[in-house]
Copies of this chain bind each other. A is one copy, B any other.
Amino acid sequence: MTQTAINPTRSQNYPEWYQQVITAAELAENSPVRGCMVIKPWGYALWEHIQANLDKRFKATGHVNAYFPLLIPLSYLEKEAEHIEGFAKECAVVTHHRLKDDGQGGLIPDGELEEPYIIRPTSETMIGEMYARWIQSYRDLPILINQWANVMRWEMRTRLFLRTSEFLWQEGHTAHATAEEAMAETKLMLDVYADFAQNFLAIPVIKGEKTESERFPGAVNTYCIEAMMQDGKALQAGTSHFLGQNFAKSSNITFLNPQGELGHVWTTSWGVSTRLIGALIMTHSDDDGLVLPPSIAPYQIVLLPIYRNAEEEAQVLAYCQELQKSLQALQFQDEHLRVHVDKRDLRGGEKTWQWIKKGVPVRLEVGPRDIASASVMLGRRDLDPKNKQKLEKVALTTDITSILAEIQHNLWMRAQQRLQKHTHEIHHQQDFETFFSGGDICDTDCRGGFALCYAADVPEVEAIIKPLKVSARCMPLDDNTEGPCIFTGKLVRGRTVFAKAY
């Protein structure tokens, strides 16, 4: 049996493997605060790269950033009925604004607030209030604002990155003069997310619309990108909501059109969160730990100097630093290469395995013999750790960017093939049930995955799938085929993706 760096392996215990990958890569850990995580430097660097790349895309599509208050008056949340219904069960409530002595050497809350505040679970109501003040006429439209922020939803069962009480995200909030414009914005941002997931994170996604029961509380339409994890479960990686005039009405956001008529604006909201890091882990990592696409890796290349004495050390470090400098001058995806020299006083094997577990795409070992032959030993994270390749130093600087591009492409292809392999068209309710109870309904090795079928968006279907712990993930866009619902027999247009989900 092969030894792996992560125990258990994916096939032995997938949820525990996930935790162990995070621990081994030092991405995050649970904090003393219920359900809240500490994002450690290596994990936070992933978020910084996500932020930087997405932020460029938001700005390229005409958006600007702003910042709105962390706290929301309770009465604001109450304005939109479905919205408060969706969040009342899981919100942190601020009731006091100072502490006082309890007379026994301790402190207790003091200064009760007239109206409690909620720590934002999302900011539609607060931002709606401000938009109502800012918008008078069609000349003030559109408003295209994004916010990078922390939000809080008091989750009962939490998992690092996937579901935490506090998480980091961005929330876009836009206001438009017409329904058409707002819908175009909603779809544009869905495309931005899909392109980002595929080309930056190397995560293939299905773009679709949510069914009624899965919609954002208060939205008219919710669109999403859904990704498939290695255990066949779905993970919602981003959402874009067409809010119609619901929030405009509850927050009274009105404007005068060019004809001088008063009407309500049309709004959208859209967001992705630190959950994307969970998706990244579960899409690419293997039984040796984290695997990072070069696009997002905090270091794309780590140089590992090998030496036995002070003389060799000086020689090897000089060679490494020269190499680092020439590599840093190169670019991958329009950014200079991120190259690190690991000078720590640790055994070589230990160092190598630390960087494997941290998912660094390329490792370069450099010892006196490599210097003598003007070469390096190259290890790739997308290949077996034992599979090392001798590369001439001159070839390195000409080839390294294509090697990184190849790694990026390989990770993408693996994930893309997995998604295709584990997505099955299903035509009968019986097959649907067999599929999701782990049975074999086709000639491929199908343990879990996505079921693509005609299904009516009605409570009756919800009732059938719920006991299977399956949910409708989305109705893929641009599917104009028609067929009978496999549950009700009703003719429906377009199919729905079902899956177990994170």
List residues of A whose CB falls within 8 A of some B CB. Answer: 31-33, 36-41, 43-45, 47-48, 64-74, 76, 78, 84, 88-100, 106-109, 116-119, 126, 129-130, 145, 149-150, 152, 154, 166, 168
- A145 to B26, alpha carbons, bound, how many Å? 14
Task: List 13 other contacts, CB 8 Å, given A45-B65, A67-B168, A89-B99.
Answer: A32-B76, A36-B69, A36-B71, A38-B69, A39-B67, A40-B66, A41-B145, A44-B65, A45-B64, A70-B119, A92-B94, A93-B95, A95-B96
Q: Which residue, A43, A97, A117, A119, has most C-beta atoms of chain B within 10 A?
A: A97
Q: Chain B residues near A152 (CB, 8 Å)?
A: 70
State whether A92 touches B97 (Cβ < 8 A). yes
- A106 to B44, alpha carbons, bound, how many Å? 40
Q: Which residue, A88, A92, A109, has most C-beta atoms of chain B within 10 A?
A: A92
State whether A78 touches B90 (Cβ < 8 A). no
Known: A93-B94, A95-B95, A109-B93. A73 touches B41 (CB 8 A): no
State whether B72 touches A44 (Cβ < 8 A). no
Which partner residue on chain B sits nearest A68 by CB separation? B38
* Selected contact of A73 from candidates B33, B43, B118, CB within 8 Å: B33
Known: A64-B41, A88-B107, A107-B78. A33 touches B97 (CB 8 A): no
Which partner residue on chain B sits nearest A164 by CB separation? B69
Copies of this chain per assembly: 2
State whether B91 touches A93 (Cβ < 8 A). no
23 contacts between A and B (CB under 8 A): A31-B130, A32-B126, A33-B71, A39-B66, A39-B67, A40-B66, A41-B64, A47-B67, A48-B65, A70-B70, A70-B119, A70-B166, A74-B107, A84-B107, A88-B100, A89-B99, A90-B98, A92-B96, A92-B97, A93-B97, A95-B96, A109-B116, A150-B150
* Selected contact of A129 from candidates B32, B64, B78, B99, CB within 8 Å: B32
Q: Chain B residues near A91 (CB, 8 Å)?
A: 97-99
- A219 to B84, alpha carbons, bound, how many Å? 43
State whether B126 touches A31 (Cβ < 8 A). yes
- A68 to B90, alpha carbons, bound, how many Å? 21
Q: Chain B residues near A145 (CB, 8 Å)?
A: 41
Q: Chain B residues near A116 (CB, 8 Å)?
A: 96, 108-109
| Nearest CB in chain B: distance from A334 CB, A | 13
Q: Chain B residues near A64 (CB, 8 Å)?
A: 41, 44-45
- A64 to B91, alpha carbons, bound, how many Å? 31
Which partner residue on chain B sits nearest A106 by CB separation? B78
- A357 to B140, alpha carbons, bound, how many Å? 19
State whether B94 touches A119 (Cβ < 8 A). yes
- A84 to B99, alpha carbons, bound, how many Å? 10
- A444 to B154, alpha carbons, bound, how many Å? 61
Which partner residue on chain B sits nearest A97 by CB separation? B154
Q: Chain B residues near A99 (CB, 8 Å)?
A: 74, 84, 88-89, 91, 93, 118
- A414 to B119, alpha carbons, bound, how many Å? 43
Q: Chain B residues near A32 (CB, 8 Å)?
A: 73, 76, 126, 129
Q: Chain B residues near A129 (CB, 8 Å)?
A: 32
State whether B93 touches A96 (Cβ < 8 A). yes
State whether B95 touches A109 (Cβ < 8 A). yes
State whether A36 touches B107 (Cβ < 8 A). no
* Selected contact of A90 from candidates B40, B97, B150, B154, CB within 8 Å: B97
| Nearest CB in chain B: distance from A244 CB, A | 24
Known: A31-B126, A92-B97, A150-B150. A41 touches B70 (CB 8 A): no
Which partner residue on chain B sits nearest A65 by CB separation? B44
- A23 to B88, alpha carbons, bound, how many Å? 35
Q: Chain B residues near A118 (CB, 8 Å)?
A: 99
* Selected contact of A66 from candidates B38, B94, B95, CB within 8 Å: B38
10 closest A-B pairs (Cβ-Cβ)? Answer: A36-B69, A41-B64, A93-B96, A39-B67, A88-B99, A97-B154, A93-B109, A33-B69, A95-B95, A44-B66
Which partner residue on chain B sits nearest A151 by CB separation? B70
* Selected contact of A130 from candidates B38, B44, B67, CB within 8 Å: B38
- A20 to B220, alpha carbons, bound, how many Å? 40
State whether B107 touches A92 (Cβ < 8 A). no
